[in-house]
Structures are given as C-alpha cells and as structure tokens.
Amino acid sequence: MIATPVLVGNPIAEWGVEGVIWAIHRNARSWNDIPVKKSLSGPWKNIISIRQLLLHADIDLKNAVSAVWANGKNIQFWLDSWADPLPLYVKFPDLFKVDSNKQCLVEDRVGFSDAGPLFIWAWVRASLDVNECHQLQQLESLIESLAVNVGVDRWCWKYDANGSFNVASIKKILSSVNRDSQARAFEWNNWVPKKVAIVAWRADMERLPTKCALSARNIPVQDQFCVLCGEYEETSEHLFAACHFAQSIWLNIADWCRIPPIITFGFEDLLSLHEISPGSSKKRKIIHAVVLVAVWSIWKLRNEIVFRNGVPNTTKTLDEIKSMAYLWIKNRAKMVSMSWEEWGRFSLTGL
Ligand SMILES: [Zn+2]
C-alpha cells in the first residue's frame, strides 16, 4: 500500500516555486539529486520525506520542474531542464564530460547576436572527436530552434497547467495512485470505545452526514460551508484533513506525540499515520487511538456548533482529545501506572 506521509496544504503552498528550485539546484555537491540541507525549513524536508511516495506516482521531483529560458542568468546550462524535457547532461553526455565548467549557466554558453544565438564553448581540450562534433551540431540546432523570451528566466512545475507549483496538483496525481491501492480495510482499535472509532469508520466510507453528503442525498441544508472555517464545502475529507482547524489540531498532536509534522493529502492518510510513525508497535497503536479520538472530537465539536451554537476552540478540543484518550487508553491498554503528567509529556515508560 502506498501510505502516508502527508502534506497539510498550507505551509508548502506558501513557498514559491523559486524556493523549491533553489533547493533542488543550488547545491554543488549533489546536483544530480535532491539535497536535504539542515538549514532548509520544515516544509521542504516534508517534501523530501514523501519523495519515495511521489516516485510511486511517477513524480520525480528532480524532473518535475523545468526552466523557461530568457536571460539565462538563473539556469544551469547542463544540469537544469530547459532546452529539452531532459537536462542537457543526460541528452548529450559526451559533451557534458568535456565541458570545463559543469555548472555553467546558460548565459555562459549562449549569447545573442543579430544572426541568432552565439555559442561560447569552453572545452577541456582543444578539439572534439567525431562523435562529440555530431552531438554538438544537434545541441546547437536544438538551441537555435528555441523561442527567445524576454525578461528573466522562469520555472515551471510540470504537473500544473499554469506551471505554478501547488499542492493541489500533487494531490490530484497521488489520489489516483492511492485509489489503485485502495485495498485497505478499516483498522479498528480496542483501546478506544466503538462509538469513537465508528466516527472515523463512517468518515472513511464517506458516510458521515456532512452538509455535502446530506445535500447529495437531496436533504435540504442551509448552506454547504464548513462551520469550522466558513470557507470551504463541508465534506469528511475537508473537515478532518484539509480544514485549517483540523490541520492545527494535527500539528499540535504531532508535536505532543513527538512524531514528524502530520501532513495530510486526504482522510486515509490520518488512518494510516501510525503505520509510518516511529516507535514500538504499542506506541503506534496509541497514536492510532489518538487519531481516532481526535476525529471523534472534531466531529463532536462540529455538531455542537451546528446544533448548539458552539464555537470552535483549538485548545479546548486538544484538551478533550488528550483527556479522553488518557482515560480510555490507560484502562483499556492496561497502562494503569501511567500518570496524567507523563501522558501530557507523552513520555511513556517502556515504549
Ligand atoms: Zn473548514
């Protein structure tokens, strides 16, 4: 099954494609792979962590961005994709070998004259062999055939029609992959009461009476907006995974449970989160139980708002998740010696 590490929309959507490109390209040591530098911020590391998952969907981050050549000051001549879907070092490997500066920019190799592009080669030796000359001819005619753009070089994310990097485009591709592998059965957890797990089970089957689900069954609803954010249509997927209220709950839970930030593409990511969480199987079962309690608690809050004029409150919801999960897990998992204080720090002895 393709699970899991998961993208919460916001942080990643906020970085521009330049940030991504910079991170991919501006590392001399590992230009042919994606560098993970300690100094890079969280979202980028999250992207790296799902790289394997993206590869299952045939998204190779390395090739997912291409440059639109204009002034040539930002594109690496051999290493970036710009003149061809393949970087030129892949397309013309023999020439690449003999270039004296493997990391040169496009402007270092191509100038302009009235007659068209003007090539500025800098080979490691005085002459090229027959094969290299042949490749050079092909390379020059490829570049001569390109349209000349004005302005500065731009970058395009190839999975979006407008070329801009966004989470929605990744999500779309991944959801088609996830669908193929949707043999996952709902996993119950006897450390929480059945009434709690059943909310997640219904959400997983799209059988919770959300506003969109009711309206799809021709049951009149006042409006279809999510009551937690007021901005998007209320589906199970939105309510528990995409809504910024839910996202802040998940980020807080990750922090508390000392697991990497939870980034969700969809509801199923929450249900399989424990499978990739670090730690013993007991700890993973606890995390699974906490997720089920959180889903139950978010749904309960949603109902309080819809039916009893409640107001969304992240702190209150988190407190409820922690205390109810403590009560249930302590007794059902036979962890009677676990103190509330230990639970609050998620410092669980023996796990
Ligand atoms: Zn919402």
Cα 167 to ligand 1 centre (Å): 17
Tell me the β-bridge partners of 320.
none
Query: Which DSSP category does 147 fall into?
Result: P
Cα 247 to ligand 1 centre (Å): 10
Exposure on the CB side of residue 248, measured as CA atoms within 13 A = 11
- Label the pairing between strands 110-113 and 116-119: antiparallel
Distance of CA 206 to the CA centre of its chain: 23
pLDDT of residue 138: 95
pLDDT of residue 2: 33
Yes or no: say if 214 and 299 are a contact pair by the CB < 8 Å rule.
Answer: no
Yes or no: say if 259 and 277 are a contact pair by the CB < 8 Å rule.
Answer: yes
56-70 pLDDT tens trace? 666 666 667 778 888
Cα 70 to ligand 1 centre (Å): 41
Cα 116 to ligand 1 centre (Å): 54
In the chain, what are the domain boundaries?
Answer: 9-64+158-178, 68-144, 184-345
Cα 311 to ligand 1 centre (Å): 13
Cα 231 to ligand 1 centre (Å): 6
pLDDT of residue 114: 80
Tell me the β-bridge partners of 204.
none
Yes or no: say if 267 and 204 are a contact pair by the CB < 8 Å rule.
Answer: yes
Cα 117 to ligand 1 centre (Å): 53
Yes or no: say if 105 and 72 are a contact pair by the CB < 8 Å rule.
Answer: yes
From residue 335, how far is each of 288, 327, 329, 338 by CA, in Å? 16, 10, 7, 6
* 67 phi, psi to nearest 5 deg: -100, 145
295-314 pLDDT tens trace? 999 999 999 999 998 899 99
Cα 237 to ligand 1 centre (Å): 10
Tell me the β-bridge partners of 68.
154
Cα 329 to ligand 1 centre (Å): 29
Cα 262 to ligand 1 centre (Å): 17
Cα 7 to ligand 1 centre (Å): 16
Cα 248 to ligand 1 centre (Å): 11
Q: Walk along the chain (351 residues) and give the pLDDT tens digit of each residue.
A: 333 333 333 333 334 444 444 444 443 333 334 444 444 444 455 555 566 566 666 666 666 777 888 889 888 899 888 999 888 988 998 899 899 998 899 999 999 888 888 999 999 999 999 999 999 999 999 999 988 888 888 877 777 777 666 666 666 666 665 544 445 688 999 999 999 999 999 999 888 999 999 988 888 888 999 999 998 999 999 999 989 899 999 999 999 998 887 777 778 889 988 887 888 889 999 999 999 999 999 999 999 999 998 899 999 999 999 999 999 999 999 888 899 999 999 987 767
pLDDT of residue 277: 81
pLDDT of residue 9: 35
Cα 56 to ligand 1 centre (Å): 30
Helix axes 281-308, 244-257, angle to 10 degrees: 150
Following DSSP, what letter does each residue of 36-87 receive, concatenated? --TTS-HHHHHHHHTHHHHHHTT--GGGSEEEE-SSSSSSBTTTS-SSSSS-
For residue 69, the tally of other CB atoms under 10 A from its CB is 22
pLDDT of residue 246: 93
Residue among 301, 277, 269, 286 at smallest CA distance from 343: 286
Could you give the 3-state DSSP secondary structure of residue 215?
helix
pTM over 0.95: no
Amino acid at position 129, single letter: D
121-157 pLDDT tens trace? 999 999 999 999 999 999 999 999 988 888 888 877 7
| Beta strand segments in the chain, E | 65-68, 110-113, 116-119, 154-157
| Beta strand segments in 263-336, E | none
Yes or no: say if 264 and 336 are a contact pair by the CB < 8 Å rule.
Answer: no
